[in-house]
Amino acid sequence: MTATTTRAEIPERTLRTDRWWLPQLTTTAGLLVFIGYSTWRAFEGAHYYAAPYVSPFYSPCLAARCVPMRGGADWAVVGDWWRLSPALLVLVFPLGFRLTCYYYRKAYYRAFWASPPACAVGEQHARYTGETRFPLILQNLHRYFFYLAIPVAGILTYDAVLGFRNAAGQWGHAGLGTLVLLGNVALIWAYTLSCHSCRHIVGGRLRHFSRHPVRYRAWQLVGRLNARHMQLAWLSLASVGLADLYVYLVSSGVFADPKLF
């Protein structure tokens, strides 16, 4: 067989006869829904706290103008000069993590750029430089966004635990919102730990697994999650949007948080 860098000389765009465009269509629709909703909520700058729940889009709330939470704007490190929505200060981290994620790259390259549209479907662009040039070379920052995603997940865990306090700050409360935040943070951790970079950090660069049994065990666990990375990417995207929506609806008075105990 002769190696070649050009496409086979066939007039058809593809010889595939299945509905190869269907996953791209559903991916595009799903991403557009999330982008539209999250953009509106990120810029709204309101209805992000319904005691004791804080929206994951606004946590940690870093601006001095954040609504008082838990007896004070406890994460406020940015002064009054910040006039935009506080969400914009924090969303850059999870956004960078997801934008550079290996799975999401595949999803949005296919969904929005059609580059490539699918396996064995002809590339429409005249040139293909992959991720070797600016700006796509910045995708290599993914590992660093992974490091930043860990404290973000930790803070969301803290928020979920505080969901066991009532609006007055006393422990021993749980409402539907507590379950919503717990479910969300569980999926956020599962997605974060299923990251390909995490798998490499945990188990990469080892010559002998037998000399590193703890890392080997951790690598196996991460590997099992990693095999579900796509599903976890979508589930955690949906859960973070639903958690925010829940806080929005309770905060804006659409319904009261049902108390469980």
Residue ranges that bind ligand FES, judged by CB under 6 A: 101-103, 142, 146, 195-197, 229
CB 4, min distance to ligand FES, A: 31
CB 84, min distance to ligand FES, A: 27
CB 192, min distance to ligand FES, A: 7
CB 178, min distance to ligand FES, A: 27
Taking the least distance from each CB to ligand FES, the nearer of 48 and 189 is 189
Distance CA 100, CA 133 (A): 15
CB 210, min distance to ligand FES, A: 27
Taking the least distance from each CB to ligand FES, the nearer of 106 and 259 is 106
Taking the least distance from each CB to ligand FES, the nearer of 178 and 236 is 236
Q: Please compute Rg for the chain using Cα positions.
A: 22
CB 95, min distance to ligand FES, A: 12
Taking the least distance from each CB to ligand FES, the nearer of 103 and 234 is 103
3-state secondary structure the chain: CCCCCCCCCCCCCECCCCCCHHHHHHHHHHHHHHHHHHHHHHHHCCCCEECCEECHHHCCCCECCCCCCCCCCCCCCECCCCCCCCHHHHCHHHHHHHHCCHHHHHHHHHHHHCCCCCCCECCCCCCCCCCCCCCHHHHHHHHHHHHHHHHHHHHHHHHHHHCCECCCCCECCCEHHHHHHHHHHHHHHHHHHCCHHHHHHHHCCCCCHHHCHHHHHHHHHHHHHHCCHHHHHHHHHHHHHHHHHHHHHHHCCCCCCCECC
Taking the least distance from each CB to ligand FES, the nearer of 105 and 215 is 105
Taking the least distance from each CB to ligand FES, the nearer of 178 and 197 is 197
* Furthest-apart CA atoms within the chain: distance in Å: 73
Cis bond before residue 116 (omega within 30° of 0):
yes
C-beta of residue 117 within 8 angstroms of C-beta of residue 21? yes
Taking the least distance from each CB to ligand FES, the nearer of 88 and 141 is 141
CB 152, min distance to ligand FES, A: 12
